[in-house]
């Protein structure tokens, strides 16, 4: 069975701090895909990144970076120099190559205070 665990329910930081959101997954598939979505206070779900299981290179996009480690079944998300606009709920998700749907974690609420 596939499962995604986001153990951090809520994180609070002060602006300009770095913050890492953890995501641990379980799957028996050898080919799988990992995702991060952002849900700002306005409520919509915004796609951030998709990563396949054969690409373990870390990804950086501006202040955002993602660390994929198959050895620990983790796909962690780091925000460098956080800003108030980063305040949101962040979801990690998993899909196999032949599965019908995404499996979501329960989300981590990030609050960035000025």
Partner 1 sequence: DADVTQTPRNRITKTGKRIMLECSQTKGHDRMYWYRQDPGLGLRLIYYSFDVKDINKGEISDGYSVSRQAQAKFSLSLESAIPNQTALYFCATSDAAFHGYTFGSGTRLTVV
Site size for partner 1 (CB under 8 A):
24
How buried is 1 (Cβ within 10 angstroms: 0-12 exposed, 13-18 middle, 19+ buried)? exposed
30 secondary structure, DSSP code: S
**Helix, strand or coil for residue 70?**
helix
Residue 64 in the binding site for partner 1 (CB under 8 A):
no
- Work out how close the CB of 81 gets to partner 1 at its nearest, in angstroms, rounded to a whole number: 27
110 Cβ partners below 8 Å, 6+ apart?
A: 10, 11, 12, 13, 19, 21, 79, 82, 86, 87, 88, 89, 90
The residue among 80 and 102 lying less far from partner 1, judged by its C-beta, is 102
**Of 17-25, 27-35, 65-73, 80-88, which segment contacts partner 1 by CB under 8 A?**
27-35
Element (H, E) at 38: strand 32-39
Residue 70 in the binding site for partner 1 (CB under 8 A):
no
Which of 41, 44, 57, 61 binds partner 1 (CB under 8 A)? It is 44
Which of 9, 30, 57, 71 binds partner 1 (CB under 8 A)? It is 9
Binding site for partner 1 (CB under 8 A): 9, 32-33, 35, 37, 43-45, 47, 50, 52, 91, 93, 95-97, 99-102, 104-107
């Amino acid at each position: 069975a596939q499962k995604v665990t986001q153990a951090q329910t809520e994180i609070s930081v002060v602006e300009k701090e770095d913050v890492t959101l953890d995501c641990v997954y379980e799957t028996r598939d050898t080919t799988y895909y990992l995702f991060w979505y952002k849900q700002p206070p306005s409520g919509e779900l915004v796609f951030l990144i998709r990563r396949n299981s054969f690409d373990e290179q870390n990804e950086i996009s501006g202040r955002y970076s993602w660390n994929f480690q198959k050895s620990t079944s983790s796909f962690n998300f780091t925000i460098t120099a956080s800003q108030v606009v980063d305040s949101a709920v962040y979801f990690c998700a998993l899909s196999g190559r032949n599965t019908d749907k995404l499996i979501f974690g329960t989300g981590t609420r990030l609050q960035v205070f000025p």
